[in-house]
């Protein structure tokens, strides 16, 4: 399989000349002969961002995640370091580097924003020097955010103590990471953010806003079962949505042992993406929300003591770059 480093854009430079090469990237003439931007235009950086591509990342996947970070950086100008491990040791050089830059206009023509990428490919023998090299590429006066993507084992990720310890947020996606990722004893557990939970923000908001119209006691009185059903590809989203519902119902006064929480896959052939239903002791009382992410349509059906309600709504997941922002800043 080709190295993920080779699948990503950028100009290869000597590892020892990264800083010099970045400066030259903004001051030398562009390849097509047009004047390049002055160095001062590249200094609107707000955060440090490290994208660490694990050994389970394919070249195609790496290119997709790189594009997500580019889109994110258009909203939040960043100094970005992309770490690309090799599956085996290689002859010299054990570490290679690329640089990549992009500039674009913000809200006006005078609002020029530029971002810088440093890509580092490293073999196993270079692992002891990786975090030191990454730290050199980062701005010392800006907060660090660390996204670990498709690691083969949580223990291997936990070895990166410098990045995990310094990062203000550590982003993981529980839909694709090892099963123990969320329960692992991290150096700073409060920094961990799950991108699945962040992607669900529009779903959590629409359900929460609907249920907020009812008194908390109305939602938990006689509640027997809470069920979340999901299509096969959204098993992680279903799991996270059910855990969120349990926490919110507990905040409404429901005891954890007073109702059953169930997670189930949608039957084959049944349309839809996610669904939530509450069953109560009184047969006349019910709540159901169903959403189809393919069509963007959702439906509320409820009777919680004040008459039957049927309400159409929209449904979506947050775009990947917006989920990054949600995980990092909220």
Residue range 126-162, pLDDT digits in tens: 988 999 999 999 988 999 999 999 999 998 888 898 8
Beta bridge partners of 11: 99
Answer for the pair 176, 64: CB distance below 8 angstroms, yes or no: no
Q: Which of 114, 119, 159, 124 has its CA nearest to residue 137?
A: 119
Q: Which long-range contacts link 28-37 to residues 24+ away (Cβ below 8 Å)?
A: 37/103, 37/112, 37/114
Strand positions, DSSP E, the chain: 11-13, 47-53, 78-85, 95-105, 112-122, 144-149, 169-172, 192-194, 223-230, 260-265, 274-280, 286-292, 297-303, 308-314
125: enclosing H helix or E strand:
none
Burial (CB count <10 Å: 0-12, 13-18, 19+), residue 245: buried
Could you tell me the residue ranges of all domains in the chain? 4-195, 201-314
Q: What is the pLDDT of residues 290-308, one digit of tens each?
A: 999 999 999 999 999 889 9
Higher pLDDT, 109 or 262: 262
Q: What is the pLDDT of residues 216-238, one digit of tens each?
A: 999 999 999 999 999 999 999 99
Residue 32 has pLDDT above 50, yes or no: no
Beta bridge partners of 122: 85, 95
> What pLDDT score was predicted for residue 140?
87
Q: What is the pLDDT of residues 71-105, one digit of tens each?
A: 999 888 899 999 999 988 777 778 999 999 888 77
Largest CA-CA distance found in the chain, in angstroms, rounded: 75
Answer for the pair 85, 46: CB distance below 8 angstroms, yes or no: no
């Amino acid at each position: 399989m080709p190295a993920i480093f080779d699948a990503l854009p950028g100009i290869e430079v000597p590892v020892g000349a990264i800083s010099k090469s970045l400066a030259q990237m903004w001051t030398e003439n562009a390849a097509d002969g047009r004047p390049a931007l002055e160095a001062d235009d590249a200094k609107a950086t707000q955060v440090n961002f490290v994208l660490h591509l694990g050994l389970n990342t394919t070249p195609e996947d790496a290119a997709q995640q790189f594009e997500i970070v580019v889109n994110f950086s258009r909203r939040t100008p960043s100094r970005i370091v992309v770490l690309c491990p090799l599956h085996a040791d290689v002859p010299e050089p054990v570490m290679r580097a690329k640089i990549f830059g992009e500039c674009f206009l913000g809200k006006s023509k005078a609002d020029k924003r530029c971002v810088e990428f440093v890509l580092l490919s490293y073999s196993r023998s270079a692992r002891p020097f990786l975090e030191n090299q990454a730290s050199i590429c980062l701005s010392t006066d800006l907060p660090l955010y660390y996204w670990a993507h498709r690691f083969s084992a949580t223990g291997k990720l936990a070895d990166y103590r410098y990045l995990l310890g310094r990062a203000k947020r550590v982003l993981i996606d529980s839909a694709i990471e090892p099963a123990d990722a969320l329960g692992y004893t991290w150096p700073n557990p409060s920094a961990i953010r799950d991108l699945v939970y962040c992607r669900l923000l529009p779903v959590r908001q629409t359900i929460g806003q609907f249920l907020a119209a009812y008194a908390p006691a109305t939602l938990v009185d006689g509640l027997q079962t809470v069920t979340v059903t999901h299509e096969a590809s959204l098993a992680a989203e279903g799991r996270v949505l059910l855990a969120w519902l349990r926490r919110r119902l507990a905040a409404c006064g429901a005891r954890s042992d007073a109702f059953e929480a169930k997670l189930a896959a949608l039957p084959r052939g049944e349309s839809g993406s996610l669904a939530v239903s509450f069953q109560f002791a009184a047969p006349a009382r019910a709540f159901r929300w169903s959403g189809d992410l393919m069509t963007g349509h959702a439906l509320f059906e409820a009777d919680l003591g004040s008459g039957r309600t049927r309400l159409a709504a929209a449904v979506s997941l947050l775009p990947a770059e917006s989920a990054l922002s949600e995980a990092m800043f909220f």
